[in-house]
Amino acid sequence: MNDPIAQLALWIEETGGFGAIDAVAMCLATADGAGNPSARIVLLRGLDQRGLRFFTSYESRKGRELAENPHAAALLYWPKLERQVRVEGLVARLGEEESDAYFAARPRGHRIAAWASEQSEPMESEAILEDRFAHFEARFEEDNVPRPHSWGGYLLTPSRVEFWHGRPNRMHQRIEYVRSAAQWQAFLLQP
């Protein structure tokens, strides 16, 4: 297959599809402006020819790092199938409409939590967070919960994608795709 996005979509489908957390949990690695790295698990919430989509607080640590340094890497790993996919590229915020549409589809409690939590910030106690949640639950009791302006989506546009498939005797299959202009070039890599 000469299309790494289609191949990634196929592997996700074979592991349970977008409805299965194990299929779409990915490690997202970012770095601040000084190059200090950090990584965490996020959920892949969309995939198309533009790239990979995930959502978070713009003011979280990853959001701040992406504002300083828009380069990121992601890793999806399915140990039972001995498969992993590495993705590298530039990250940019999604448009307001796409972020609004995804936010509106989230469960109500998740939407309220986006208002209550100042993601990645220190807190004195869990009770304060619970009080904030209760405050916003009451504030939006009868109203639709709008998307906070500090929360939204990102698009990771791949410039490099590597598929790894485990094989006996560590003779793993590795195929790397590198974007060249508007097309992909594929290379076999030694294990």
User: CB of 75 within 8 A of CB of 26?
Assistant: yes
Active-site residue, 83 included: no
The answer to whether 52 and 87 are in contact (CB under 8 A) is: yes
Question: What letter would DSSP give residue 142?
Answer: S
Catalytic residue, from 106, 132, 147, 170: name it: 170
Supply 121's token pair. 């910030």
Gap between the Cα atoms of 75 and 88, Å rounded? 9
Whole-angstrom Cα distance, residue 45 to residue 29? 16
Q: Label the pairing between strands 25-31 and 37-43.
A: antiparallel
What single letter denotes the amino acid at residue 191?
P
**What does the block give as tokens for 188?**
């076999």
Contact 164, 172 (CB under 8 A): yes
To the nearest 10°, the Cα dihedral for 29, 64, 60, 138? -150
Catalytic residue set: 170
